[in-house]
Structure 1
Amino acid sequence: MPTIQERAARLIEAGQIRERGRWDAPADDTITLDEAQRHRRRMAMVSDGGIAFLLDLPEARLLVEGDAIVLSDGRLVEVRAKPEPLLSVRGRDADHLLQIAWQIGNRHLPCQIRDGRILLRRDHVIADMLRGLGADVHEVEAAFDPVGGAYAGGHHHAHD
């Protein structure tokens, strides 16, 4: 049986990403991943159509819906965001939504802000807290592309 290293050596490599909106050739395939699966640097992957390849980027990054992974043979694999269980949060008005956003940010929770609402991962404790602050909270299934923020190079940081 081949080792992991031997199998990886036979994979097509992919070391370049074309960002959403910066490529226009038709994609040869797609790959559908949730947000956690889209934050990668190096990993063996299989496209939706069965193309096995080794993603090998210089640094970890969040792939977003519409990015294209460039395979070493020139083919493009378009990234699709897999819908996942989220909370959709709205405020009474813009000021209230800003206060809610501050509470979410103060807890260092990844979130997506768009169309007058905030999306974040489902968590019943956070949902109860937000409802207690007067937010309109609903469970949804949607693609999740959180804001990168000041620490966009990674999801974690420390308070020294």
Structure 2
Amino acid sequence: MLKATSVLPAGSYADPADTVTLDFDGRHRRRIALTGNGGLAFLLDLPQAVALKSGDGLLLDDGRVVAVEAAPEPLTEVTAGDPHHLLRLAWHLGNRHLPAMIEDGRILIRRDHVISDMVRGLGGAVRDIDAPFDPEGGAYGGHSHSHSEAHGHAHSHSHGSGHSHSHSHSHTHSHEH
């Protein structure tokens, strides 16, 4: 079976041999057998799981490329009366570690009636739509299902010369799922 062992960024290849259409979860894989929309079967066999974006190419071991396309899926469009309000809503969504696709004037998230109720309670508007979902990669290098917890530690002391100063440091760690 043909293998795809590397990912080419969108725009870096021409004339794909086939296209594979996958939803958000289906585009975060390391190893899986896939069949393109045109029938080309291959094994995705990457060194580590990556978040494939719509437009990325999968380089097959015979030199051909299979284009990745984001499948439409059930989403909720979050909007607000002004950019500042939308920014506040983005903060609340981010505080819940939700994958979010940020566009001009709207935020797209996966459908979740509890989150929709929260957004409405904060004065935002929600509308259910079906669209491709390519959320922000975030600070953790893509869709990694990771959560980071920061722990800060600080201490201060004074010197005999009558002045004092503080030292602080922090570290983060992530939990991979």
- Give the TM-score taking structure 1 as reference length: 0.89
- The 5-angstrom pairing of residues 54-69 of structure 1 reads 54-69=43-58
Size of the aligned set, in residue pairs, is 149
Give the alignment partner of residue 130 of structure 2, picking from 118, 141, 157.
141
1:131 to 2:120 alignment: yes
Note the 1:21-60 alignment, pairs <5 A. 21-23=11-13, 25-60=14-49
Other structure's SS at 1:15 match: strand
Runs in 1 of length 4+ with deviation above 6 angstroms?
none
**Distance across 2 between alignment mates of 1:158 and 1:78:** 32
Residue 56 of structure 1 and its aligned partner are, at CA, apart by: 1.1
The superposition leaves residues 88-109 of structure 1 with CA deviations (integer Å, 9 ceiling, x where unpaired) of 0111111101100000000000
Separation in 1, partners of 2:108, 2:24: 12
Cα shift readout 1:28-56 (whole Å, capped 9, x = no counterpart): 11000000000011111111112111111
Alignment of structure 1 residues 53-92 onto 2, 5 Å: 53-92=42-81
Q: Structure 1: which 5+ runs fail to align?
A: 1-10
Q: TM-score, normalised by structure 2?
A: 0.81
Match of residue 83 from structure 2 = 94
Q: Deviations over 1:41-99 (max 9, x none)?
A: 11111111121111111221111111111111111111110000000011111110110
Q: How do residues 1-16 of structure 1 correspond to structure 2 at under 5 angstroms?
A: 11-16=1-6
How far residue 123 of structure 1 moved from its aligned partner, in angstroms, is: 0.4
Query: Which of the pair has the greater relative contact order for Cα pairs under 8 Å at 6+ separation?
Result: 1
Is the aligned partner of 1:107 residue 2:96? yes
CA distance in 2, matches of 1:22, 1:116: 29
The residue number in structure 2 matching 1:4 is none
Partner Cα separation in structure 2 for residue 20 and residue 152 of structure 1: 17
Q: C-alpha separation between the residues in 1 aligned to 2:105 and 2:11?
A: 23
Identity %: 54
Alignment RMSD: 1.2
1:115 CA displacement: 1.9
2:7 is aligned to 17
Is the 8 Å Cα contact of residues 28 and 52 (structure 2) preserved in structure 1?
Answer: yes
SS at match of 1:107: coil
Tell me, yes or no, if structure 1 residue 150 matches structure 2 residue 150.
Answer: no
Deviation at 1:158, TM superposition (A): 4.9
Return the structure number with greater strand share. 2
Matched, 1:116 2:90: no
User: Could you say which residue in structure 2 is the equivalent of 1:6?
Assistant: none
